[in-house]
Amino acid sequence: MKDLKRLWLISLFVKLILAALIPLSADEAYYWVWSHRLQLSYFDHPPMVAWLFSLGHFLEPFLHSVRWPAVILGHASIWVGIKLLSKHMDLEKIRTWIYLVLFSPLLGFGSLIVTPDLPVIFFWIVSLYYLDLVLEKKDLKSYAAFGVALGLGFCAKYHIVLFVPCLLLYLIMEKKWNAVHWKLVPATLITGLLFCLPVILWNYQNDFASFRFQLEHGFERPHYNPEWTISYVLAQIVIIFPWVLWAAVRIKPAKPVRYLMYFAWLPLLFFLGTSFKALVEANWPIIAYPAVFMLAAMHPRMSQWKKYYIGFFGSIIAAAVVILFVPRFRTIDPKINEPFALQNLAQETAEYQPLYGDSYQMSSSLWYFSKSPVFKLKDISRFDFFDTLPEAKPAGNKFYLVKHQGNGLPQWLSEQQWTYQEIKKIAPDFVVLEFTRP
């Protein structure tokens, strides 16, 4: 166990160093803006990611260490997984699971990026840990803690709701109804409800806007495109890795951990089903990966096969680090270069106040890098958190807007007699406009 603890600590140290050096992505900057306007929940997502960023505010003088509380929480999920697996696996198989997680593109290197995925993975694994205790001990403390984990998971990302059908399917298919102490289930329901109240209250106060947005976001296309399903299947094969997927499919876990099969495959199948309705982003079934890797680690050949996995993803991670830290390579991918381009844009536009942006990504990044509020102009792009703020419409008679060339302007500007002139162009395709009105 000491070797596992050493591996956990070393990998945490590496993550913290990289997290401090890599600039925040546009989405991360968006969640960071939320942390300066704390709410019970938000239109786009539940509030946990904002709460975690708020814990890191005191670290902002130290490069990008504002990420650290979230990164530490994400890495703690590995330790919880170790505690869970130590009851069912030998140390070598647990070590294999750790390597599968650390070199996973989403659970490993991807855990440096602070999104709602980090806390939902933590609470998903914590929920698995307490489920294991519930099935074993049948005590009030375990049932109550199980509800707390699920409730907080709901404050992290709505995907935690898939835990319930996974559990129900396990109880039905494995005929485990008698393993549940039904008199203690109300403790789970009560604590779960209490700890997810912030999200429920916010949605109740806001006409359930967040719930409706997420449902529409996942089922929004009127016509089916086969590329949605094909791209989803191929992405999951690559992300999980063929050898790992094969090992997870082939293993027959012991009865005490057969529940892992349901928590591995049902989320993957659920999002496979949604791929017939809309495009599924590659990270959406991330909650399935911990259990998939646990199943794969049980396979007797996985300790040898993991070298191919580590070699493949290790090379990709090394290449990504080089691209991030060598300026001439960043332009290979516009998404990789985006934080650096927006950081430069923040310097180029620092003299223009008050400044607005044309998207939540731009406004959030400019705000983060300049440490001066930059709001998105209301209705200039799709509805988001910025549109709910009173500052989204300028209050004075003069303001500046930085936008991508070719992007349009909201109708209300002309209705309120705003006129503008172009005062600056910034590479690659940005323009600064000065707006005035009588």
Please state, in angstroms and rounded to a whole number, the distance separating the CA atoms of residues 221 and 144. 40
Q: Pick from 47, 65, 45, 49: which is nearest to 57 by CA?
A: 65
Residues 2-29: pLDDT tens digits?
889 999 999 999 999 999 999 999 999 9
Q: What is the pLDDT of residue 329?
A: 87
Query: Which tokens go with 101?
Result: 């997680």
In this predicted structure, the answer to whether residue 184 has a pLDDT above a threshold of 90 is yes
Q: What is the pLDDT of residue 217?
A: 66
Mapping DSSP onto H, E and C, the string for 342-404 reads HHHHHHHCCCCCCEEECCHHHHHHHHHHHCCCCEECCCCCCCCHHHHCHHHCCCCCEEEEEEE
pLDDT-derived band at 86 (thresholds 50, 70, 90) equals very high
Q: With contact defined as beta carbons under 8 Å apart, do 13 and 104 qualify?
A: no
Residues 423-435: pLDDT tens digits?
999 988 899 999 9
In this predicted structure, the answer to whether residue 221 has a pLDDT above a threshold of 80 is no
Q: What is the pLDDT of residue 121?
A: 98
Number of Cβ within a 10 Å radius of residue 11: 17
Placement of tokens 């009173």 in the chain? 390
Q: What is the pLDDT of residue 407?
A: 87
Q: What is the pLDDT of residue 286?
A: 97
Mean pLDDT of the region 101-125: 96
Torsion of CA 85, 90, 91, 96, to 10 degrees: -70
Strands 355-357 and 398-404: parallel
Strands 430-436 and 419-426: antiparallel
Q: What is the pLDDT of residue 21?
A: 96
Please state, in angstroms and rounded to a whole number, the distance separating the CA atoms of residues 166 and 230. 24
Mean pLDDT of the region 233-247: 96
In this predicted structure, the answer to whether residue 35 has a pLDDT above a threshold of 70 is yes
Number of Cβ within a 10 Å radius of residue 336: 15
Q: What is the pLDDT of residue 214?
A: 79
In this predicted structure, the answer to whether residue 196 has a pLDDT above a threshold of 80 is yes
Q: With contact defined as beta carbons under 8 Å apart, do 260 and 89 qualify?
A: no
Please state, in angstroms and rounded to a whole number, the distance separating the CA atoms of residues 246 and 243. 5
424: DSSP letter: E
Q: Quick one: CA dihedral 200, 31, 44, 157, positive or negative?
A: negative
Q: What is the pLDDT of residue 427?
A: 84
Which helix (H) or strand (E) segment holds residue 436: the answer is strand 430-436
Q: Pick from 115, 129, 16, 126: which is nearest to 77 by CA?
A: 126
Number of Cβ within a 10 Å radius of residue 244: 25
Q: Pick from 251, 253, 254, 248: which is nearest to 268 by CA?
A: 248
3-class DSSP assignment, residue 432? strand
Which helix (H) or strand (E) segment holds residue 231: the answer is helix 226-240
In this predicted structure, the answer to whether residue 218 has a pLDDT above a threshold of 90 is no
Please state, in angstroms and rounded to a whole number, the distance separating the CA atoms of residues 32 and 365. 9
Please state, in angstroms and rounded to a whole number, the distance separating the CA atoms of residues 67 and 72. 9
Average pLDDT, the chain: 93
Query: Which tokens go with 282?
Result: 């590659």
3-class DSSP assignment, residue 301? coil
Q: Which amino acid belongs to residue 117? A: D
Q: CA distances (Å), 184 to each of 84, 103, 188, 196, 405, in order?
A: 22, 39, 7, 19, 60
Query: Which tokens go with 91?
Result: 């140390």
Which helix (H) or strand (E) segment holds residue 25: the answer is none
